[in-house]
Amino acid sequence: MDNLVQQLINGISLGSIYALIALGYTMVYGVIKLINFAHGEIYMVGAYVGYGLIQRVGLGLFPAILISMLFCAILGVVIEKVAYKPLRGATRVATLITAIGVSYLLQNVMIYIMGPEVKAFPTALKVQNWTFGGVTINSQQIVIFLTTVVLMVGLQLIVKYTKMGKAMRAVSTDPEAAQLMGINVDNVISFTFVLGSSLAGAAGVLVGIYYNSISPLMGVTPGLKAFVAAVFGGIGIIPGALVGGYAIGIIETLVSAYGGSMFKDAVVYLILIIILIVKPSGIFGKNIKEKV
């Protein structure tokens, strides 16, 4: 039982990171129906920005997280304006291919700037362990969980109670009607990318202190798993991204702990296949019938 509780705690830490990344996927899809496959690379850029700020500038963890969030927010807006906005009226296949192209571009730019090798993330947080019976919790897990909770609560407050949040919900429901009501759809879309990309930047720094290593290709697998988490919970639905992120993190940790470390990734993708077959709209999604 102690081992099970320990793995659940580990899974919550990992799931917190997946949830932050999944929120970016689900918000962008909810507003403009775009699957931004470059989102994993924004998370990777956030990790490198945090690395530079801590290793070379000497900043603490939380200032590094805030600046990484700001940098990734700007990067997200630039990507939206340059790569996605000109294709807003194009087919979904065209925007999907563009997103994949932006993903590879960011990977190779980071390889050119920082090199292809794996880098050790600097120790930005003193690790302390607390043991309760047979269960151990460390300071990194607590910081990751609390930071994620604060960011998620802040996001919920923005979406539910601010003017821009209400505009986001209106655009996600009916962009044409929202525009007729005087809402600037372009500004709403840009703001959505700001929120999603900033959360990915925070996740990048958090995963750096969790795994103690970063690389230019680190965004590929977590990005896909976060996408699975978004689909699992119901892509386009913010609570679904949270539940999906924690569910995928816990499942992956349990599979790995009980002898399945070699195929833990396969289990995550199997979940995606099952969800798409059984309930394509996800746990919190509703099946919508389209009239032809």
Residue with tokens 């977590």: 222
The two structure tokens encoding residue 18: 């997946």
The confidence score (pLDDT) of residue 72 equals 94
The confidence score (pLDDT) of residue 192 equals 92
3-class secondary structure, 115: coil
Evaluate whether 202 touches 249 at the Cβ level (below 8 Å): no
Total residues belonging to the chain: 292
Across the strands, what pairs with 119? Answer: 214
Which amino acid, one-letter code, is at 45? V
The confidence score (pLDDT) of residue 76 equals 93
The confidence score (pLDDT) of residue 287 equals 57
The confidence score (pLDDT) of residue 201 equals 92
Per-residue pLDDT of the chain (292 residues; tens, 9 = 90+): 677 888 888 889 889 999 989 988 888 888 888 888 889 999 999 999 999 999 888 888 889 999 999 999 999 999 999 999 888 878 888 888 999 999 999 999 999 999 899 999 888 777 788 887 778 888 888 888 899 889 988 988 898 889 998 998 888 888 888 888 888 988 999 999 999 999 999 999 998 888 888 999 998 888 888 888 888 888 878 888 888 999 999 998 888 888 777 888 888 888 889 888 888 888 887 655 544 4
Region at 118 (left for phi over 0; alpha for psi -120 to 50; beta for the rest)? beta
The confidence score (pLDDT) of residue 1 equals 67
Using alpha carbons, select from 278, 206, 266 the residue that is nearest to residue 15.
Answer: 206
The confidence score (pLDDT) of residue 276 equals 85
The confidence score (pLDDT) of residue 290 equals 46
The confidence score (pLDDT) of residue 291 equals 44
The confidence score (pLDDT) of residue 288 equals 54
3-class secondary structure, 131: strand
In which element (H, E) is residue 109 found?
helix 92-114
Which amino acid, one-letter code, is at 69? M
Q: Crossing angle of helices 92-114/39-52, nearest 10°? A: 20
